[in-house]
């Protein structure tokens, strides 16, 4: 019997490594009941493939607050899966999850990776935007979190040619505010934030230099209320003697900060969406369809995601 609120887990892409790493992750000690939203047929098939013998406890959306739920078995909300209508299945999984989160005001949510190109098409830049819209949230932020160092891109999945048009004082300020609030209220600390410039070495040959005319004066102004500095050149801020001074590095676009953070920590990081009425975390990797069925995928990112929600 658990007094902790449950963690809602959507398995995501049917053809992915998520269930493999989920099975590996639930062998760890977890206090919060896990509720998996997935297809029982897929779960059973994957269990058989990897020779797991977990008991499956089929529940409904009305059972999520049952005090008798525990992690000695897989608490599963079964969603019908039709291979020819994969997107309908994924959408139904999220629909049930969102209904549960809203109705019971739950605060812990994990979703497995999605093939964004097929599921989102051109309607959303990414899952961060998809989930935010479902809760009428306009301002959000993607925090790739590690205890030693986290990163946040000001723009997320934009094509590079569109990034400079989106760099504004308002948008940067929104991200900084959400980062501080998360660290202050969740982690009980005031984060030291470094801001990266947009251009190489924070220099530009064009008449308009975003670093000098937008980012630098904004950082100076934000110093009144935040522990923040910059802009710094992206090619040196991640050097060991530089990065150890900060808790979060705020970059201007996706790969500017996600490439170095994944190089430094590989799978030892989690993707947290800031700005939602609950903690949404996804493992920091994709469906990795080429690795499906090989039983060699690293579960550490999902283990970290579950551990973080179990603690906070």
**Cβ neighbours around 68 below 10 Å, total:** 9
Q: For residue 154, what pLDDT is reported? A: 98
Say whether both 129 and 146 belong to one domain: no
Q: Which residue has the higher pLDDT, 209 or 297?
A: 209
Co-location of 156 and 264 in the same domain: yes
Q: What is the pLDDT at residue 219?
A: 98
30/127 same-domain check: yes
- Sorted by sequence, the CB contacts under 8 Å of residue 74 that are 6+ apart come out as 26, 34, 36, 43, 54, 55, 56, 57
pLDDT at 312: 83
229 vs 287 pLDDT, higher one = 229
Task: Give this prediction's pTM.
Answer: 0.92
Highest mean pLDDT among 3-7, 86-90, 119-123, 201-205: 86-90
At 3 the pLDDT is 64
Q: To which H or E segment does residue 310 belong? A: helix 300-311
Query: Same domain for 105 and 155?
Result: no
Q: What is the CATH number of the domain that holds 22?
A: 3.40.718.10
Asked if 132 and 147 sit in the same domain, the reply is no
How do strand 150-153 and strand 34-38 relate by DSSP bridges? unpaired
Residues 221 and 133 placed together within one structural domain of the fold: no
Residues 43 and 87 in one domain: yes
User: In 3-state terms, what secondary structure has residue 38?
Assistant: strand
- Least confident residue range of 175-179, 202-206, 217-221: 202-206
Cβ atoms of 166 and 155 within 8 Å: the answer is yes
Within this chain, do residues 211 and 261 fall inside the same structural domain, yes or no? yes
pLDDT tens readout for residues 126-166:
899 999 999 999 999 999 999 999 999 999 989 999 999 99
Total domains in the chain come to 2
Domain containing 182: what range? 142-270
* Whether 132 and 281 share a structural domain: yes
Task: Identify the pLDDT of residue 288.
Answer: 74
Is residue 100 located within the same domain as residue 122?
Answer: yes
- 105 and 189, same domain (yes or no): no
Query: Are 253 and 280 members of one domain?
Result: no
The whole-angstrom separation of Cα 255 and Cα 220 is 25
Local confidence band at 2 (pLDDT 50, 70, 90 cut-offs): low
Residue 290 has pLDDT above 90, yes or no: no
């Amino acid at each position: 019997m658990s007094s902790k609120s449950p963690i809602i887990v959507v398995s995501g892409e049917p053809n992915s490594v998520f269930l493999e790493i989920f099975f590996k992750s639930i062998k760890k000690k977890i206090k919060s009941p896990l509720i998996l939203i997935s297809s029982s047929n897929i779960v059973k098939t994957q269990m058989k493939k990897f020779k797991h013998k977990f008991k499956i406890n089929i529940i409904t959306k009305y059972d999520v607050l049952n005090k008798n739920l525990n992690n000695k078995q897989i608490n599963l909300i079964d969603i019908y899966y039709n291979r020819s209508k994969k997107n309908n299945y994924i959408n139904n999984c999220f629909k049930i999850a969102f209904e549960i989160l809203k109705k019971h005001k739950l605060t812990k949510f994990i979703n497995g990776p999605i093939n964004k190109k097929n599921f989102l098409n051109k309607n959303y830049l990414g899952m961060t935007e998809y989930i935010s819209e479902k809760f009428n949230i306009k301002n959000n932020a993607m925090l790739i979190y590690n205890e030693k160092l986290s990163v946040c891109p000001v723009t997320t999945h934009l094509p590079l040619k569109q990034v400079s048009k989106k760099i504004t004082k308002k948008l940067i300020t929104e991200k900084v505010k959400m980062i501080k609030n998360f660290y202050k209220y969740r982690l009980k600390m005031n984060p030291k934030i470094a801001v990266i410039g947009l251009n190489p070495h924070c220099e530009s040959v064009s008449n308009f230099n975003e670093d000098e005319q937008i980012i630098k004066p904004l950082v100076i102004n934000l110093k009144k209320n935040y522990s923040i500095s910059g802009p710094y050149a992206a090619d040196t801020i991640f050097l060991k003697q530089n990065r150890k001074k900060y808790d979060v590095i705020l970059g201007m676009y996706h790969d500017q900060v996600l490439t170095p953070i994944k190089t430094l920590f590989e799978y030892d990081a989690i993707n947290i969406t800031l700005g939602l009425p609950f903690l949404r975390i996804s493992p920091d990797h994709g469906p990795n369809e080429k690795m499906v069925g090989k039983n060699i995928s690293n579960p550490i990112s999902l283990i970290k995601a579950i551990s973080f929600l179990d603690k906070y």
